[in-house]
């Protein structure tokens, strides 16, 4: 399996060659030269597999340069009930991502796929724990080291840091928007005292952090000298790790390959739902992929109109589902590449226009950049938007109707999912995080605190270690160089 850039000017590479990096040298994102296909017989066989074995089966189609025995050992080490057991009681931890049936009738079938059973109580653990083990394996084989430089709007940072803490040869430099995460999210990251973890609070919004990561990644000389890698959703290995739970969700919700399901995914950076798109391109019988946004509705606007219009920092809302407070979806380029039929030159031109003019238009209207909006339905995409009042209402309704407390992002997902259900097609909502991570809003909605998993009772009171910095990329580079000594 070879990988090529969405912008067409980088040489094809293997899975291991792109594992430690993010952006391709030409500024594009890596995709497989062709999507591997899954047959009906394979799907039937996969129904019987454990999560770790399913992960091995899916990843084997993409990481063809890693010996099977090594890849199997990595997935076995990653997906265990020891790693994914500390979030809830009363559920079968061995399932890793169990389904909860909320409604089941001829008119509507609504399910919730639990993705927050990992060490940081968020879906990001599902990929990040694997990434940590893949990094450690690859670095050990080459006697190398890696300095991870990433950005987070909330959950990616803690998931990355918990996956990489103490790993030999790895340092983590994680940017986050200063004072724009929940108290729990902030404490989860900043309370880590491991010497290989560096938390940097940036005076700006998430998109400023993300732009700094891209700026450093595009400085190829500095990137090579400082041995910079990334764990953001632009990292291909992280995306493909998320493909696994779409297969698990489908196989758990169906009994026959003739059946279809739909997925609703709370989305800001387009990484999670991009994995669903990839699963669908591999042949997984997905009817709809429903993009659920919050007030920062760049993606919803595109899937309704064909216009991709990024917002400036001043136009990015700070909301009660903060992990989706994103106005430039860095993974979106992968889908646009497929939407344009793999035309790398057009992809490059469109995303250069994003940088220079703030967006592009595929609506087909006079003066637009193309008419591909009419093809979106072929890929199963629809979308919807949820705001603060919707979140409060949905959290209350889910508590009342199903006796489940959900977090704010999952509430956005359920609100939008209910707008797109159809008879005979189960709708699976991907859970984003546990409600304890967003206690302020849970308390506003329900009048009580969210339940705290064991070990997280007083996390906000722990000592915190972080550095506040501006959006000056030059100063950021100097800070990294000082800490690495390279």
Task: List residues with catalytic annotation.
Answer: 124
Q: What is the three-state SS of the chain?
A: CCEEECCCCCCCECHHHHHCCCCCCCCCCEEECCCCCCCHHHHHHHCCCCHHHHHHHHHHCCCCCCCHHHHHHHHHHHCCCCCCCCCCCCCCHHHCCCEEEEEECCCCEEEEECCCCCCCCECCHHHHHHHHHHHHHHHHHHCCCEEEEEECCCHHHHHHHHHHCCCCCEEEEEEEECCCCCHHHHHHHHCCCCCCEEEEEECCCHHHHHHHHHHHHHCHHHHHHCCEECCCCCCHHHHHHHHHHHHHHHHHHCCCCCCCEEEEEECCCCHHHHHHHHHHHCCCCEEEEEEEECCCCHHHHHHHHCEEECCCHHHCCCCCCHHHCCCCCCCHHHHHHHHCCCCHHHHHHHHHHHHHHCEEECCCCCCCCCCHHHHHHHHCEEEEECCHHHHHHHHHHHHHHHCCCCCHHHHHHHHHHCCCCECCECEEEECCECHHHHHHHHHHHHCCCCCCCCCCCCHHHCCCCCEEECCCHHHHHHHHHHHHCC
Q: Taking CA 340 as the corner, what is the angle to CA 213 and CA 212, rounded to the nearest 5 degrees?
A: 10
Q: Tell me, rounded to whole angstroms, the distance of Cα 89 from its chain centroid.
A: 25
Distance (Å, whole) CA 9 – CA 5: 7
Distance (Å, whole) CA 84 – CA 163: 13
Contact present, 236 and 17 (Cβ < 8 Å): no
Cβ contacts of 206 within 8 Å, gap of 6 or more: 151, 152, 153, 176, 177, 180, 316, 325, 326
Length in residues, the chain: 486
Among 336, 337, 345, 267, which Cα is nearest to 308's?
A: 336
Distance (Å, whole) CA 410 – CA 326: 16
Tell me the CA end-to-end span of the chain in Å, nearest whole number.
33
């Amino acid at each position: 399996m070879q990988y090529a850039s969405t912008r067409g000017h980088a040489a094809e590479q293997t899975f291991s060659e792109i594992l430690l990096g993010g952006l391709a040298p030409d500024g594009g994102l890596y995709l497989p030269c062709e999507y591997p296909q899954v047959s009906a017989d394979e799907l039937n066989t996969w129904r019987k597999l454990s999560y770790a074995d399913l992960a091995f089966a899916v990843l084997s189609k993409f990481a063809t340069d890693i010996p099977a025995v090594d890849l199997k050992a990595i997935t076995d080490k990653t997906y265990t009930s020891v790693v994914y057991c500390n979030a809830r009681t009363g559920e079968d931890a061995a399932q890793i991502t169990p389904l909860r049936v909320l409604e089941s009738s001829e008119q509507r079938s609504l399910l919730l796929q639990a993705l927050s059973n990992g060490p940081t109580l968020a879906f990001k653990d599902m990929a990040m724990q694997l990434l940590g083990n893949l990094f450690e394996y690859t670095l050990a084989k080459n006697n190398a080291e890696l300095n991870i430089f990433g950005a987070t709007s909330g959950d990616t940072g803690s998931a990355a840091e918990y996956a990489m803490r103490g790993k030999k040869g790895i340092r983590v430099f994680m940017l986050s928007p200063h004072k724009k995460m929940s108290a729990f999210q902030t404490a989860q990251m900043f309370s880590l005292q491991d010497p290989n973890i560096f938390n940097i609070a940036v005076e700006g919004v998430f998109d400023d952090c993300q732009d700094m990561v891209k700026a450093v990644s595009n400085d190829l000389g500095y990137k090579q000298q400082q041995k910079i890698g990334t764990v953001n959703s632009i990292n291909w290995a992280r995306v493909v790790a998320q493909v696994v739970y779409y297969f698990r969700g489908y196989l758990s919700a169906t009994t026959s390959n003739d059946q279809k399901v739909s997925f609703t995914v709370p989305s800001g950076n387009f990484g999670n739902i991009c994995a669903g798109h990839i699963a669908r391109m591999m042949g997984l019988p997905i009817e709809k992929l429903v993009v659920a946004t919050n007030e920062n509705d760049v993606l919803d606007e595109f899937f309704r109109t064909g216009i991709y219009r990024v917002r400036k920092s001043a136009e990015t809302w700070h909301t009660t589902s903060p992990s989706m407070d994103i106005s430039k979806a860095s993974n979106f380029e992968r889908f646009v590449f497929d939407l344009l039929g793999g035309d790398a030159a057009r992809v490059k031109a469109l995303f250069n226009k994003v940088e220079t003019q703030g967006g592009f238009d595929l609506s087909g209207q006079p003066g637009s950049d193309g008419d591909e909006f009419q093809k979106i339905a072929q890929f199963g995409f629809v979308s919807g938007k949820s705001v603060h009042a919707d979140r409060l209402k949905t959290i209350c309704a889910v508590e009342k109707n199903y006796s489940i407390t959900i977090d704010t992002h999952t509430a956005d997902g359920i609100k939008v999912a209910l707008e797109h259900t159809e008879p005979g097609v189960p709708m699976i909502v991907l859970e984003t995080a546990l409600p304890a991570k967003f206690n302020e809003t849970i308390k506003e909605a329900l009048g009580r605190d969210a339940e705290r998993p064991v070990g997280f009772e007083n996390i906000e009171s722990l000592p915190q270690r972080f550095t506040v910095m501006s959006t000056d990329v030059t100063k950021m580079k100097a800070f990294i160089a000082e800490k690495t000594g390279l």
